[in-house]
Amino acid sequence: MIYRLFLVIIVAGMLWLPASVLAQDQSTPGLTIHVVQRGENLFRIALNYGLTTDELARLNGITDPGNIQVGQRLLVPAAAAPANVQPLTHVVQAGETFESIAGLYNISLQTLLSDNNITDVNSIYVGEILTIIPTHVPAAVAEPSQAFVETSTTNVMVHVVQPGETLFRIANNYGLTVNDLAQANGIADPTLIYTGQQLIVPGVELPQLAVDLPQPVARFEVLPLILVEGQTARFRLTTTIPENVSAAFLGRTLPLALEQNGTVATALTGVPMFTEAGVYPLAFTLSEGNGQQVQFSVNVQVVSGSYGSEAITLLSDRTGLLDPAVDSTEQNLVQRIMSAFTPQRYFEGPMSLPAAATVTSPFGTRRAYNGGGFDRFHMGTDFAGAPGTPVLAAASGYVVLADTLNVRGNATIIDHGWGVFTGYWHQSEQYVKLGDFVTAGQMIGTIGATGRVTGAHLHWELWVGGVPVDPMQWVRQSFS
C-alpha cells in the first residue's frame, strides 16, 4: 500500500515536468523520467535503458504494454544507461534501398550510411546486415506506400552478438527467457555463443519492409538471403498481371517455372562451386504484350562454402577409372541429363534422406586420388551402408536414367521437375527402370560397391539448373 501511494504521488508530480525526453526527478534520485515520443513503443524504450518490457510496465503500473501515448511520462531507473544499449540489426531484403531503410526508421540517409561506414549508396545487397543505433531513431515511420517484400525472414529481428554478451543478457534485453532464445536458434548449450553470431529474436515485430519495385511487380523473394557457393537459391517474382519474365544470374539465363496463371515466376539455381565470394547482380526482364519491357536488378551476396579436403586411395583394379577421358565422357552424359528443365514440379517440401545410413563424406570436399593433386571435388554426399541396404527416392519424380556406368556403377537419376534432379550411384541392385514414376521414400535399389569406389556406399547427388549442389541443404530446407 505504501509503495502504491508513493507511485501515485510520483506519477501525479510528473504532470508539471517539462516535456523533455529525459529529466531527472530530484525528489526521487533513483528514478528518471522518459517522455514518450511519436512512434516509440514500450519494447524500444525498455531496450534503450537495458530493461525488459515487463520491468518497465511494472514500474509504471501499465497493464497493456501495447498501449502507450505520445507525451506520456514513464519512470525508469536512473542507473539505466541508454549509452550501453546494443544496436538493433536490419537485414536487407530484396528490393530495398538505403533510402527506403532510412525511411523505415525515420533517420536520415547520411546517418544510416555513417553508422555503417558506407560510402557508396549503390553498394547495397540482399542479406547485408545494417546497424541501427536506437538512440538515433527519433520516431517510427509512417505506413509505407510502396509494395512489400515477403521472405522467410520478414518481420524477424536479428541480433548480432557483441563482445562480452551472454545469452542470458541478450534474452533479458528483449524481455525473453534464455530458453526462448535457445529454442529459436537451435542452441543446445546456452553457454556456447560467439561474437558476431546472428541470433533470431522471436516474437519481436519489425517495421514492415518497404521496397522499391517497378510496376507490375508486387512481391519479390530471395531464399536464402545470403547465397553459399555450392548451394541452392530460389528467386520468386509475383506480378499483378501475367508477364513474360526472364532472369539472369552469374552469367547464365535461368529457366522459370510459372504458377497462378502466370503471375508467379520461380527460378531455382545452383551457385556453382568455385564461385568467388562477392556481390553479384540478379537481373529480371518483364515483357508486356505491347512490346514494352520493364527491367530491374538486385545485388545478391555469395559467400564461400568453406569446404574441406580428403585424400582417396583406389585399389589398382579401379585406377583406370581415373582416366580423364573416361571421367569426361560419363560426366558429359550426366550433365546433359541433369541440365534439362521440366515445368511440372513433383517434389514437395524438404527432401527425405536416401538411405538410413551414416554420412561418411559430405558434398564439396576437394579430393586427391592416389597421391595426386586436389584437383577434383566431391559432387555429392556419401552414405556408408552394408551391401543390400535399401536406397530410397528422396522425392517424387520420373526415372530418367537407370543404367550401369563406368565411374558411377549402377546409377539411377530421377527428374523432380523445375530443373531439380537426384542421382544415386554405386548400387548393387536397381528396382526401377527408365520412365517409372516413383514417390518419396520408395525403395529404388540397394547400396553396393559398383564403379569407382573404395567400399560399399551410396553416393547421392542433387543438381539444380544444371549445377551440382549440396543435397543436404534440401533435407533441411524446402524450396517448393
More confident residue, 276 or 61: 276
Instruction: Dig out the grid coordinates for 24 from the structure.
Output: 531527472
* Ranges for all domains in the chain classified under CATH 3.10.350.10: 2-84
Looking at residue 303, its pLDDT comes to: 86
CATH of 217-303, one of 4.10.520.10, 3.30.565.10, 3.40.190.10, 2.60.40.10: 2.60.40.10
Highest-pLDDT range among 45-49, 124-128, 205-209: 124-128
Q: Which phi and psi (to 5°) does residue 316 adopt?
A: -60, -30
Instruction: Dig out the grid coordinates for 445 from the structure.
Output: 535399389
Looking at residue 441, its pLDDT comes to: 96
pTM across the whole model: 0.68
Looking at residue 11, its pLDDT comes to: 36
Looking at residue 369, its pLDDT comes to: 86
CA–CA distance, 153 with 91 (Å, rounded to integer): 9
Share of the chain above pLDDT 90, in %: 38
Which of 9-13, 28-32, 220-224, 350-354 has the least mean pLDDT?
Answer: 9-13
Nearest to 284 by CA among 253, 239, 327, 247: 247
Mean pLDDT for 117-133 is 84
* Ranges for all domains in the chain classified under CATH 2.60.40.10: 217-303
CA–CA distance, 179 with 168 (Å, rounded to integer): 9
The identity of residue 290, as a single letter, is N
Q: What is the CATH code of the structural domain delimited by 309-476?
A: 2.70.70.10
Nearest to 282 by CA among 326, 342, 230, 235: 235
Residue 136: pLDDT band by 50, 70, 90 thresholds?
low
Nearest to 205 by CA among 138, 144, 154: 154
More confident residue, 87 or 200: 200
Does the pLDDT at position 150 exceed 60?
Answer: no
More confident residue, 63 or 264: 264
Looking at residue 204, its pLDDT comes to: 58
Looking at residue 284, its pLDDT comes to: 92
Mean pLDDT for 139-163 is 43
Mean pLDDT for 460-464 is 98
CA–CA distance, 369 with 319 (Å, rounded to integer): 9
Mean pLDDT for 182-190 is 77
Residue 10: pLDDT band by 50, 70, 90 thresholds?
very low
* Ranges for all domains in the chain classified under CATH 2.70.70.10: 309-476
* Contact of 268 with 234, CB cutoff 8 Å: yes
CATH of 2-84, one of 3.10.350.10, 1.10.10.10, 3.30.70.380, 3.40.50.620: 3.10.350.10
Nearest to 234 by CA among 264, 206, 211, 214: 264
Does the pLDDT at position 141 exceed 50?
Answer: no
